[in-house]
Amino acid sequence: MIDWIKEAWNDLIEWFKAILQAIFDYFSDLFILVLDGFLGAVSSLIASVPVPDFLSNGLGSYLNGIDSGVLYFLSQSGITPAFAILGAGVTFRLLRKLFTLGQW
């Protein structure tokens, strides 16, 4: 008779654990669903911002009018890594402002 009570108690505990796991899974999925909706709204908001003309044309349209000697000097002086570092800095600043909601 004691074995029957132990089995019933263990079954009840397992059932309770399954209920708690189901509740935890539900709220985890709910959090993921809300986060997905929020990030989807943010990405559509960012995608709706039009690209400025000077960014869509690139630097090629501005560098075409420069003399070839000056272009050679610029290429030897490392202007390409300089623009990459400048772009990384601007990107970092904008992302920092985005994630801190403009507090910095």
Cβ atoms of 23 and 15 within 8 Å: the answer is no
What's the pLDDT tens digit per position in 21-75? 999 988 888 888 898 999 999 889 888 888 777 666 776 777 778 888 888 888 8
The model's pTM: 0.42
Question: What is the model's pLDDT at position 74?
Answer: 83
**CA 88 from centre of chain:** 16
Both structure tokens of 45: 């908001």
Cβ atoms of 71 and 63 within 8 Å: the answer is yes
59 Cβ contact list (under 8 Å, min separation 6):
83
